[in-house]
């Protein structure tokens, strides 16, 4: 259900130091309030990457407008570098990023330094498609019938996650942009640390489509979303576009980390052999419970998982490590399928992230629909980032920390000390 810039159809963070002084029998003192450690929250919107420093609520812009359009993942090497998906910024978006050079190739993952400066490094699957001015091509073709060439409908890297070895995984939506039933041409792609120069299509279309990788063919993933890594190192990956007998019934897949490629040698021709990847269903959605899951994140306050559904009521629910719902955690209410886009105050969650105390941040991509649920897509400047606190383990009413956003898809939390966190240059102290 995303995402892009066009109309569509239907870790830890806040560390608490125990800074309370223990009373001495010789010189008893009053307790000192715990010191709250700073952390950062990041989100993408309208081709830029924004940030928030907590505590204090200091807003910043990590990447000025220039192509970011997907989940942000911090490289686990303490460099502060991070990766985020990109597509060309279009002139029709009235965005200053459209005046900047198109990255090569036009679709991929871009690597930035800790101040949000593009390093010049792009991660992609090699192929023959590029602009005439470029020397590097990818395997995602341009949109049909568009001159000059436009690369915005046949592939979009949305979700990402680094595994425990530092390898980067990203989901490619293919042509899926929220319609249902969703095409099964999504992909899961891996780039190997430390150079991130070799790509492997771990899962994707197996027939039809374009070229030897069957780009936008059949037999792949159905609208894959943002990802997370579990405590064992397995990847948890929502697929919002799958169905059961024609009924929307998205799910979250668990990908066994021991079955993943360990290096480029495991991927002759850049494709992982069919049958090697082992997956299972971590959570199965239904019409009444999270039918369009696109976001998942670990809640450290309960050692459990939150899953968000862009459409449906509830919008967010909690699950244990076996994928069973934790009813003791409550839910965050959302919009029913029948009411999608009808409530200006409703929310449609995409990305999720937690502070270490369990405070939840989530992105509301904020869908809008015409009569009869037609022409559904992200409302112009209707997106938000919301914060949810808890009382006695129950989520309270979300509060808005950023509003007026265009097609935001993800939110990321980073804690200094656990990681080297990206910091906008003007915000460094």
How many whole angstroms separate alpha carbon 261 and alpha carbon 144? 33
Residue 5 in any domain: the answer is no
The domain that holds 314 is classified in CATH as 2.120.10.30
Give domain status of residue 3, yes or no: no
Listing DSSP states for 18-75 in one string gives --PPPPPSSS--PPPPPEEPPEEEEEEETTEEEEEEETTTEEEEEE-SSSEEEEEEE-
In a domain, 359, yes or no: yes
pLDDT at site 335? 84
Which tokens go with 200?
A: 């492997």
Confidence at residue 24, expressed as pLDDT on a 0 to 100 scale = 33
- The pLDDT value recorded for residue 375 is 63
pLDDT of 5 > 70? The answer is no
Cα dihedral across residues 235, 224, 212, 143: positive or negative: negative
pLDDT at 417: 87
Q: Are 350 and 225 in contact (CB under 8 A)?
A: yes
Q: Is the pLDDT of residue 62 over 90?
A: yes
Classify each residue of 117-134 as buried b or exposed e, where b means 16 or more C-beta atoms within 10 Å of its C-beta. Answer: ebeebbbbbebebbbeee
What is the rounded average pLDDT for all residues in the chain? 87
Q: Note down the domain range covering 291.
A: 16-21+36-427
In a domain, residue 7? The reply is no
- The pLDDT value recorded for residue 37 is 73
Using the predicted structure, report yes or no on whether residue 428 has a pLDDT greater than 60: no
Residue 378's pLDDT is 83
Q: What is the pLDDT of residue 19?
A: 31
pLDDT band at 374 (very low <50, low <70, confident <90, very high): low
Cβ contact 307:296 at 8 Å: yes
Between these two residues, 155 and 96, which has the higher pLDDT value? 155
In this predicted model, which residue has the larger pLDDT, 302 or 346? 302
Percent of the chain with pLDDT over 90: 70
- What residues contact residue 27 under an 8 Å CB cut-off, 6+ apart? none
For 231-262, what is each residue's pLDDT tens digit?
999 999 999 988 877 777 899 999 999 999 99
- Dump pLDDT digits (tens) for 265-313: 999 999 999 999 999 999 999 989 999 999 999 999 999 999 999 988 9
Hey, CA dihedral for 211, 214, 217, 223, is it positive or negative?
A: negative
Per-residue pLDDT band for 35 (boundaries 50, 70, 90) equals low
Most confident of 3-7, 165-169, 337-341: 165-169
Q: Do the domain assignments include residue 206?
A: yes
Asked if pLDDT for residue 397 goes beyond 50, the answer is: yes
Report the alpha-carbon angle 109-387-226, nearest 5.
Answer: 25
Q: Residue 155 domain-assigned?
A: yes
Residue 28 pLDDT > 60: no
- Tally of domains within the chain: 1
Q: Is the pLDDT assigned to residue 403 strictly greater than 70?
A: yes
Both structure tokens of 93: 């978006």
**Residue 131 neighbours by CB under 8 Å, 6+ apart:** 102, 104, 106, 149
Q: What is the mean pLDDT of residues 100-106?
A: 94
**373 within a domain of the structure (yes/no):** yes
pLDDT of residue 385 exceeding 80, the answer is yes
Number of Cβ atoms within 10 Å of the Cβ of 37: 18
pLDDT for the residue numbered 372:
58
pLDDT of 58 higher than 50: yes
Residue 70 · residue 156 · CB < 8 Å: yes
28 within domain boundaries: no
């Amino acid at each position: 259900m995303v995402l892009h810039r066009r109309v569509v159809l239907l870790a830890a963070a806040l560390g608490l130091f125990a800074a309370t002084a223990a009373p001495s029998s010789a010189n008893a003192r009053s307790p000192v309030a715990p010191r709250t450690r700073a952390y950062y929250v990041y989100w993408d919107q309208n081709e830029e990457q924004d940030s928030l420093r907590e505590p204090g609520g200091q807003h910043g812009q990590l990447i000025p407008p220039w192509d970011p359009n997907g989940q942000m993942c911090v490289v686990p090497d303490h460099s502060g570098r991070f990766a985020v998906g990109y597509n060309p910024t279009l002139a029709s978006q009235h965005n200053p990023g459209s005046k900047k050079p198109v990255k090569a190739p036009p679709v991929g993952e871009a690597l930035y330094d800790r101040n949000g400066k593009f390093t010049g490094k792009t991660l992609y699957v090699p192929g023959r498609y590029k602009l005439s001015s470029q020397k590097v091509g990818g395997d995602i073709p341009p949109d049909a019938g568009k001159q000059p060439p436009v690369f915005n409908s046949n592939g979009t890297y949305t979700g990402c996650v680094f595994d425990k070895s530092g390898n980067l995984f990203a989901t490619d939506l293919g042509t899926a942009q929220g319609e249902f039933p969703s095409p099964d041409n999504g992909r899961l792609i891996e780039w190997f640390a430390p150079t991130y120069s070799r790509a492997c299509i771990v899962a994707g279309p197996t027939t039809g489509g374009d070229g030897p990788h069957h780009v936008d063919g059949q037999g792949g993933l159905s609208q894959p979303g943002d990802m997370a890594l579990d405590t064992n190192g397995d990847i948890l990956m929502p697929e919002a576009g799958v169905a059961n007998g024609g009924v929307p019934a998205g799910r979250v897949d668990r990908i066994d980390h021991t079955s993943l490629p360990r290096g480029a040698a495991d991927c002759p021709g850049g494709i992982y052999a069919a049958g090697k990847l082992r997956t299972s269903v971590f959570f199965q959605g239904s019409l009444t419970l999270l039918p369009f899951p696109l976001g998942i994140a670990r809640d450290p306050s309960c050692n459990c998982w939150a899953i968000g559904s862009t459409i449906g009521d509830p919008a967010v629910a909690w699950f244990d490590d076996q994928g069973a719902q934790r009813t003791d955690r409550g839910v965050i209410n959302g919009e029913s399928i029948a009411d999608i886009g009808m409530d200006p105050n409703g929310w449609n969650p995409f990305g999720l992230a937690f502070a270490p105390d369990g405070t939840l941040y989530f992105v509301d991509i904020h869908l809008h629909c015409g009569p009869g649920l037609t022409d559904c897509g992200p409302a112009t400047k209707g997106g938000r980032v919301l914060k949810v606190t808890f009382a006695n383990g129950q989520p309270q009413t979300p509060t808005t920390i950023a509003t007026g956003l265009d097609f935001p898809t993800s939110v990321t939390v980073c804690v200094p000390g656990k990681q080297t966190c990206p910091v906008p240059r003007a915000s460094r102290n």
